[in-house]
Amino acid sequence: MVERELLSLSAPLIQQHELTSKCNNLCGFCYNPERCQETFTPRESDRERNLEIARASVKAGVMAVCLTGGEPLLVGEHFWDVYNIYKDAGCYVSINSNGRLVTDEIADRLAGRELNSALVSIHGVGKLHNQMVGDDAYDETLAGILRLAERGISVTPNFVATAKNVHALRSVGQMLASHAMKSMTATPFLPSFGAESHKDYVLGQQHYQEYFEAIRHIRELGVKIDSTLPIPPCVLMHYFPETWQEYLNVHSPRVCMAGKSFGVVSPDGLFRACIQAPYLDKFGGPINDYTVSWQHASNWADKKLIPDECHDCKAIGICGGGCRTGCMWDNNGSVKGSTMYMGEPLDEKAAELFIDRIGSDLSVTELEVSYDGWCKNIPNFVFKFKPEVKIREEGNYRIIFNTANQSFTILNCGQGYTTNDILATNSPKVASLLMEMDAIVRLSSDEEWGYFGDKPVSADNFLPRLGKDLNNPEKIYCLRADTGERYFF
């Protein structure tokens, strides 16, 4: 059987741009390959190279960017030069920071320049946080979080759960709730290949139980909490074979889209697919050869890399076969094979409980049509895209991306393609997708419109490790990536 050709994008939709490998914290569990691996020797951060990366990225069609590091604010004034290139191009812009350098002045500048969101690391309360990051940093970090929040910036404190601090997750949630914070993330630690010290931070069964119980408690406080790392469904069965359904609602249904919708560029101008993986020639390349390097990064999503047993798992469509970076830890640097935190494949009954969580019924169930004497199929669903929506053409496909919430869908252009500002569709599925993405404003059918003849692309034609069998035309599915984007299909 000949496999169909996969849809491969010309550039990522979302990109992490590492401005520097330097950091004012000394976290022993840091995932950044330039900091945690002694064999990796990057060039120093360079203003002109960072500007070149930003210009090349927006030219290629990147629609959202996270400025990160190391600590991105350490580069000083050229942080703003890079920031402005992305913002002026209409990109969703976020930062990943430890918050220590967020003074009142910087918080004001970020708010004034309409920073979309910030992820700020916090790994304990008081002394424990300081021990985890290797410096007297807690007061500065908390102050940075609160300064951003006070200015209306969407800030998410991120707790990396390790064997050394997972017991404190609950107290961090309680502390944030006391400061009226409404959301946070709690990410299970993922060790990096080549970082021998990481073995002391790996989670075991008891740690995972503490992790899930803390999440349940924090949600009871009114704080929205999720993971930024995909946690395979089989982890629950592996650690809690008798009681796994008790943790179903606190399990994070996130997935990895590295190499497909997401990529990362390091301070030395090299593309790679995953933010937590080191640079590998087969999966990246120099930024000055953007298209070719991104295509290499796309190899990270090859379904041939996942464990053989995962192919028979009925939950593969919403899991993707585990983490390739985690695989490197378990397989002596190889990205092919089993991964840590894995269990046995799920049967259809168990998988359905997880699949149901990412599906919903169509919000537009049927469309009335009228007859004008020559055309029997004039739809009444008329709309226009919101100003924050960007559309990128990829050959016969269109990517609809809402920069306000990092949601996107991919549509197959129909023969009725038009560039009219006011559009109409006779597809309940397309109408429902665009409404779920909050990408459109619905208009009266009396408006003068152009035909929007697109149809959704099959998810497994875009994500070879994901989307399998998720093709019910009466359903909308949403896969939320660990890097923030939400893919509707």
Query: How many whole angstroms separate alpha carbon 176 and alpha carbon 194?
Result: 34
Model confidence, pTM: 0.92
pLDDT tens sequence across 10-21: 999 999 999 998
What is each CA distance from 469 to 76, 269, 276, 352, in whole angstroms?
48, 38, 29, 12
Residues 226-243 have pLDDT tens digits of: 998 888 999 999 999 999
Per-residue tokens: 278:
């080191």
pLDDT in tens, 26-46: 999 998 776 655 444 545 568
User: What's the pLDDT at 40?
Assistant: 46
The predicted pLDDT at position 73 comes to 97
Quick one: DSSP state of residue 44? Answer: P
How many beta carbons lie within 10 A of that of residue 472, not counting itself? 12
pLDDT band with cut points at 50, 70 and 90 for residue 4: low
Kindly state the average pLDDT of the residues 281-299. 93
Place of tokens 């998988």: 351
Residue 195 has pLDDT above 90, yes or no: no
Q: How far is CA 124 from CA 76, 103, 119, 436, in A?
A: 27, 21, 16, 36
pLDDT value for 365: 84
CATH class of the domain whose range is 14-307: alpha beta
Output the CA–CA distances (angstroms, integers) from residue 230 to 2, 9, 235, 256, 373, in the order listed. Answer: 31, 22, 11, 7, 53
Tell me: the pLDDT tens digits for 70-89?
Answer: 999 999 999 999 999 999 99
Question: Can you give the residue ranges of every domain in the chain?
Answer: 14-307, 362-457
Res. 372: pLDDT tops 70: no
Say what the pLDDT of residue 415 is. Answer: 53
Q: Widest CA span of the chain, in angstroms?
A: 77
CA nearest neighbour of 7 among 486, 480, 458: 458
pLDDT for residue 434 is more than 70: yes
**Exposed/middle/buried for 144, CB within 10 Å: 0-12, 13-18, 19+?**
buried
Cα dihedral value 173, 174, 176, 177, nearest 10: 110
Give Cα separations from 76 to 32, 62, 83, 271 (angstroms): 20, 24, 12, 23
What's the mean per-residue pLDDT of the chain?
A: 90
440: amino acid identity, one letter: I
Percent of the chain with pLDDT over 70: 93
Confidence of residue 1 (pLDDT cuts 50, 70, 90): very low
Say which DSSP state 130 is in: H
Residue 396 sits at φ, ψ, to 5 deg, of: -90, 10
- Percentage of the chain beyond pLDDT 90 is 72
DSSP 421: S
E-strand ranges in 103-211 read 117-121, 154-161, 183-188
Coil, strand, or helix at residue 161?
strand
Question: Mean pLDDT, to the nearest integer, of 416-440?
Answer: 86
120: closest CA among 93, 106, 100? 100
Distance between CA atoms of residues 232 and 32, nearest Å: 23
Q: Which of 477, 367, 361 is nearest to 428 (CA)?
A: 367
Helices (H), 366-458: 428-436
The stretch 395-400 carries a mean pLDDT of 90
Query: 438 falls in which pLDDT band (50, 70, 90)?
Result: very high
Cα-only R_g, the chain: 23
- Ranked by mean pLDDT, which of 16-30, 155-169, 248-262, 382-396 comes out on top? 155-169
pLDDT value, residue 426? 84
Task: Supply the pLDDT for residue 373.
Answer: 45
